[in-house]
Chains A and B, each alone.
Chain A
Amino acid sequence: MKKYIVAFLGLVLVLGTMGAAISVFFVTDTGGLGDKSFNDSAWAGVEMAAKKYNVTANVIQSYEQADYIPNLTAAAQVSDVVVAVGFMMQDALAKVAPQFPNTKFIFIDGVVKSPNVENFLFTEQEGAFLVGYLAAGMTKTGKVGFVGGIPIPPVLRYQYGYESGVETYNVLNGTNVQVLSGYVGSFDDPASGKSMTNSQFSEGSDIVFAAAGLSGLGTIEAAKDAGKGHFAIGVDQDQDYLAPGYVLTSAMKRVNIAVFDGIKSVVEGTFKGGTITLSLKDNGVGMSPMTYTKQLVPKTLLHQIDVLKKAIIDGSLVVPNTKEKFQAFQVPQIQF
């Protein structure tokens, strides 16, 4: 009984400190905080909003998939805004959101149709296209790798964007760079990510792009272990700093901006249910500035990437985002 009272007091304390501020709860996926990628980026967005507005930031990390429903429910009960990230949470959110019509949900990477859910999607393929083109231009062995987490739509967009970037390089430069692709089967298993990357290295690739959340940290480690001449390509955040000189670039997806914009819309009263897609044009996706590796890349290659970037932004180059579109993809003639 005493402990119940303590628990109750604890809750009152938590609720009391919230005061008039808008309380935001961020529910991570199983990758959790510290993935240096997707979840960390979303949390950065929440903290950014907390600095700028009268917002309190809280986080609940999910241990396993079965935690999504209870964690979303618990968060919705005590907060004004719930930030949910990850396509894998879509089914759970679709069940929880309608139960709390007064709570606003910001959802990244999936779509839940409910008036209190604002969904954010990204055109991952556009950033991946650019890093794919770069990888194809930089490989010494004629083979590049792709390591995915779980083949869900956002990761597939990365994969086909990357593969079409490589293909575009091949067509425009008359080369035959090949892509080795594999899936780890989870977003929270760096050890498996590393072993898959190592096997791609041993099959002859020298640059591996990982779109695998926490698992992708294994790819970066593998590139570092393999030493000179091997590169990883990071994902979601600018991961170049994790192993300076061994991460060629990162395909960035500004989850932090999306989360920040979502919270901002609540603060400013412009929140409305629906779906917002962020693309290269809005600076929602892109390539990292290559802080440590830019001097390794030939000037002409950087120039070509700039031209392609403009072509994507003005719509003259549409990057495929599914397997079907990739198979039907015709590389347009581009003059550099």
Chain B
Amino acid sequence: MVSRLKKFYMNDKIIVPVIAVVVSLFIAAIVMLLIGKNPFIAYGALIYGAFGTEGALINNIMKATPLILTGLAVGFGFRAGLFNIGANGQLIIGALLATYVGAHMSTFPFYLSIPLTLAVGMVGGALWAAIAGWLKVARGAHEVITTIMLNYVAVFIANFVVNGPFQAPGGVPKSPEIAYSARFPDLLTTGATWLSAGIFVALAAVAVVYVIIEKTKTGYEVKAVGLNPYAAEYGGISISKNTILAMAISGALAGLAGTMQVMGVYYRYLGSLGGGMGFDGITIALIGQNDPIGIAFAAFLISSIRTGSNQMQIAGVSKNIVIIIQGIIIFLVAANRLVKSLMFWKKGAEEA
């Protein structure tokens, strides 16, 4: 019994999200039956739309790329005890700076301009997030409030910049394009969709964040401050330094997400480039249980559901079903105690 319990808790990270997904698909299927749709056809279309064709797979991966990064951004914040709701703002500032630098890279060779543009995007996000970190340390302002407010500031800065000083001709809220040397190479093209190399950057970020959290002194300190700041300080770990650092790393990841959209998708800053990806990051971090590898899987889950939902709409099922699925997953993961007690109840029934 004890060993079984131990095993169960060790797999907790995996089992809770998996059950959440299965249960939510089941509940959504009931909803579909109630509105008179065939859930088998709907899910068939969903899977076909997410994986069935080369174009679908490319779209799926392209959608997952920024989601992995915003998921990592929020997840890293959580590990440090920080609730970074400002990934959207950090993403926008990162993307904006990356676009600006990328647009001036035409005379540079690609091996300089790509890393430089990436670095600028990360630094932009990091600095934007560090403002919130500094405000927390110096003034005690809670990061939830400051990052939300910084989101608005970022959105309005971006709207101003691409409608005025940095607008491409044509009266559209978008910046000029970045130089060819600053774009990610296309790995594969079908029709009007292409696969950019950005996914490798996102996967590399997963590895780097894993190493930082699990294997470095910085990661240990950041986690320690997150778990119990006063105990950490008693142990000689600076709260201020690690709070600002954790925010900056989180922001750098969000900035990188925006930079991916600039260097691999739009090749410019577009009016509402941010969309809701920063907030999707919260969902993804929750589903991924703040674990870098879990987050990568969670991002692929969300991107698959979303990509597949387009095909599902062709089969006549509203896109809102997908929002229901996502909502139930979040609910169940957040209420993981509920899932755990369900598990015990089931186990008990088996043994009886």
Contact = CB atoms under 8 A, between A and B. Distances in A.
B156 interface: yes
B47 A7 contact: yes
A74 B314 contact: yes
Nearest to A90: B172
B340 interface: no
A269 B268 CA distance: 39
Nearest to B194: A69
Given A66-B63, A96-B191, A150-B271, A60 B265 contact: no
Contact of B192 (A25, A73, A78, A87): A73
B192 A63 contact: no
Of A58, A59, A74, A183, most B-chain CB atoms within 10 Å: A74
Contacts, number: 110
B155 A4 contact: no
B40 A70 contact: no
A214 to B, nearest CB: 13
Contacts of B315: 10-11, 14
A177 interface: no
B172 A70 contact: no
Given A9-B44, A153-B171, A65 B310 contact: no
Contacts of A325: none
A3 B193 contact: no
B319 A61 contact: yes
Nearest to A17: B316
Given A3-B43, A4-B47, A10-B45, A73 B191 contact: yes
Interface in A42-92: 58-61, 63-67, 69-75, 78, 87-88, 92
A63 B319 contact: yes
Contacts of A71: 310
Contact of A74 (B43, B47, B270, B311): B311
B311 to A, nearest CB: 7
A73 B55 contact: yes
Given A63-B306, A64-B275, A7 B192 contact: no
A60 B310 contact: yes
Interface string B163-200: 10000000111000000000000000001110000000
Contact of A152 (B48, B55, B173, B261): B173
A67 B62 CA distance: 11
B192 A95 contact: yes
Contact of A58 (B48, B272, B276, B314): B314
A328 interface: no
A176 interface: no
Given A88-B271, A185-B159, A3 B47 contact: yes
A330 B155 CA distance: 36
Contacts of B265: 66
Interface in B91-139: none
B313 A59 contact: yes
A296 interface: no
Nearest to A72: B192
A120 to B, nearest CB: 18
A14 B47 CA distance: 16
Contact of B270 (A13, A65, A75): A65
Query: Which 5 pairs, one residue from A and one from B, show the smallest C-beta to C-beta distance?
Result: A7-B44, A7-B48, A6-B44, A10-B41, A95-B192
10 contacts: A10-B38, A60-B314, A66-B275, A70-B310, A73-B191, A99-B191, A150-B271, A153-B171, A156-B171, A185-B271
Interface of A: 3-4, 6-11, 13-14, 25, 30, 58-61, 63-67, 69-75, 78, 87-88, 92, 95-96, 99, 150-153, 156, 183, 185-186
Given A7-B45, A65-B273, A67-B310, 7 more contacts: A11-B48, A58-B314, A66-B63, A70-B59, A150-B272, A152-B171, A152-B172
